């Protein structure tokens, strides 16, 4: 959904599927570790299918279903970065009082565009 003031990011299942798929070759080396990796991939798959990031005029909102579970006002943001932009796996942002690391469970190009639009941060420091 894209309007002039609200953008909801599309989910991306690439990272969860890749992590779950990584459990297959690990199975031949350490079966117990393979199970842990597979469970983590399934957990991320569930998160990608149930969480929604919505960029509004003033804040980033995190929804589970129709219920808002957290909001991050842009005025509190100090810095953000998408790690490994060619194969994005992690989104980091720092607020005045806390830092956040989120796996890329959403369309990375759409996330980058929304971040530049709603929260252009001077990265010269």
pLDDT the model gives residue 39: 97
Q: Report pTM.
A: 0.84
**Domain ranges in the chain?**
7-118
State pLDDT tens for residues 79-94: 999 998 788 899 999 9
pLDDT the model gives residue 125: 41
Q: How far, in Å, are 46, 90, 109 from residue 72 at the CA level?
A: 22, 17, 20
Q: What is the dihedral of CA 48, 24, 86, 45, to 10 degrees?
A: 0
CATH architecture of 7-118: Roll (2.30)
Burial of 25 by CB count in 10 Å (0-12 exposed, 13-18 middle, 19+ buried)? exposed
């Amino acid at each position: 959904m894209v309007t002039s003031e609200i953008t909801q990011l599309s989910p991306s299942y690439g990272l969860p599927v890749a992590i779950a798929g990584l459990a297959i070759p690990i199975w031949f080396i350490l079966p117990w570790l393979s199970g842990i990796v597979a469970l983590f991939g399934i957990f991320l798959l569930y998160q990608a299918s149930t969480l929604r990031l919505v960029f509004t005029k003033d804040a980033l909102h995190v929804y589970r279903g129709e219920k808002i579970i957290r909001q991050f006002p842009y005025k509190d943001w100090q810095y953000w970065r998408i790690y490994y932009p060619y194969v994005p796996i992690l989104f980091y942002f720092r607020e005045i009082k806390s830092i956040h690391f989120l796996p890329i469970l959403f369309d990375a190009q759409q996330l980058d565009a929304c971040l530049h639009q709603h929260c252009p941060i001077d990265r010269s420091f």
